[in-house]
Amino acid sequence: MGQVEILYTPFAAGALHLPNRFVMAPMTRNFSPGGLPSDGVAGYYRRRAEAEVGLIITEGVGVDHPAAVGRETMGGGASPVLHGDEALARWRSIVDGVHAAGGLIIPQLWHQGVIRVPGTGYHPDAPSARPSGIWGPTDKAMVSPDYLEQVRAPTAPLTDSEIGDLIAAFARSAANAKAVGFDGVALHGAHGYLIDSFLWRYTNVRDDRWGGGIAERARFAVELVRAIRAATAPDFPVIFRFSQWKLQDYDARNAETPAELEAMLAPLVDAGVDIFDASTRIFTAPAFDGSDMGLAGWARKLTGKPTIAVGGVGLSKDLQSSFAQPTVMTDNLALVADRMARGEFDLIAVGRALLMDAQWVRKMRDGGAVNPFRLEAYATLD
């Protein structure tokens, strides 16, 4: 295997012990009618575990809050939830299947927040959950005009009591995750969804304790992590996904400088985050001027915590470009391994390559031919 051997070595962070450095990235699948994961979802995750994916992070799973999931830019309408006896029984079966295959699996706890189209989802009458009642700027949004028309109208800002309810909803769902046997939880704090909408200054203009500078805007995320810690266990793994880019603006930045990034992430470390998942469209993209280090590298440098890098592994184009431009499968693992060996990050998340081929991790190690890129994979459950 040469220089990529590091990718197939074990990794441990607290109670989480992985056989290799590959993480299946969370990807919206929309195969859970009524919020209940289908039999196809169970097989989909089990096949990746059988093929030696080190850690599976599930698609976004709606937390126990009525406005958690609805229609959004990726379609929506069939996202799973992590509450209710039937949903929890389905997840318990999925977890058992992954464990029987020798894998590890963690749910990504999700609340769409400002991205949810008002009046949609399993509870269409639920009011929107927006920190300041605003969707954000629309002049750079990579979404359809039809969608923008449905979300651009301001709504009532969240009250302090409603914010408390949201924190409690995440904690309940984390406790449910532990109860059904998941190996930890991952929080979706990226891309403009609920947690990220508190972090970003263009969607959080509050002047109370939930707003202000970047450290103050992180308070909601910090309180979520603390509540999850209290609802689970001191050693229950917590992964936090964050990003600079948003659906509202691909060039957005929560942190303009390393110092601002540290101000945002350090309180999360104190609250109990074990691993940071730095979501970028291309994992090699420099995070700040004056350095070629990516966002995951800066998170690791500033916090001392393990990090996951993601973006463009195994394919020639980023996600958005792949819908419109010729895209092929590619082997860029030597570049991944080089950056990992330099200490930039500890784990590498793979998304679309694992949609194309459940056996991708094993084939890349053994030299097998991987399945070609195909757009249909985005809408199927193979």
Q: Are 144 and 152 in contact (CB under 8 A)?
A: no
Specify the pLDDT at position 76. 55
Q: Which DSSP symbol is given to 2?
A: G
The arrangement of secondary structure in 2-379, i.e. its CATH architecture, is Alpha-Beta Barrel (3.20)
Strand boundaries in the chain, DSSP class E: 11-13, 16-18, 22-24, 55-62, 105-110, 185-191, 238-246, 275-279, 307-310, 347-350
Residue 88's H or E segment, with its range, is helix 85-100
Q: Which two tokens stand for residue 302?
A: 């500033």
Residue 347: how many CA atoms within 13 Å on its side-chain side? 32
Q: Are 288 and 280 in contact (CB under 8 A)?
A: no
Per-run averaged pLDDT (10 residues), the chain, 382 residues: 90 97 96 94 98 98 97 73 98 98 98 96 95 95 91 97 98 98 98 98 98 98 98 98 96 97 98 98 96 98 98 91 90 97 98 97 96 93 92
Strand boundaries in 167-237, DSSP class E: 185-191
Specify the pLDDT at position 359. 98
Specify the pLDDT at position 72. 78
Catalytic residue among 8, 45, 193, 378: 193
Q: Are 377 and 356 in contact (CB under 8 A)?
A: yes
Q: Are 55 and 347 in contact (CB under 8 A)?
A: yes
Q: Are 73 and 143 in contact (CB under 8 A)?
A: yes
Q: What is the pLDDT of residues 311-368, one digit of tens each?
A: 999 999 988 888 889 899 999 999 999 999 999 999 999 999 999 999 999 999 999 9
Specify the pLDDT at position 74. 54
Specify the pLDDT at position 101. 98
Query: For 29, phi and psi rounded to 5 degrees?
Result: -120, -35
Q: Which DSSP symbol is given to 175?
A: H
Cα Rg of the chain, angstroms:
19
Q: Which two tokens stand for residue 13?
A: 């962070």
Sequence-distant (≥ 6) Cβ neighbours of residue 366 within 8 angstroms: none
pTM of the predicted structure, to 2 decimals: 0.97
Specify the pLDDT at position 78. 87
Q: Which two tokens stand for residue 264?
A: 């945002």
Return the closest-CA partner of residue 371 out of 346, 349, 354, 350: 354
Cα 338 from chain centre: 24
Is 44 an annotated catalytic residue? no
104 to 3, 67, 314, 347: CA distances (angstroms): 25, 29, 22, 14
How many CB atoms sit inside 10 A of residue 314's CB?
A: 23
Specify the pLDDT at position 37. 96
Beta strands at 22-24 and 55-62: parallel, antiparallel or unpaired: parallel
Q: Are 16 and 274 in contact (CB under 8 A)?
A: yes
Specify the pLDDT at position 249. 95
Q: What is the maximal distance between C-alpha atoms in the chain?
A: 57
Sequence-distant (≥ 6) Cβ neighbours of residue 15 within 8 angstroms: 184, 235, 236, 237
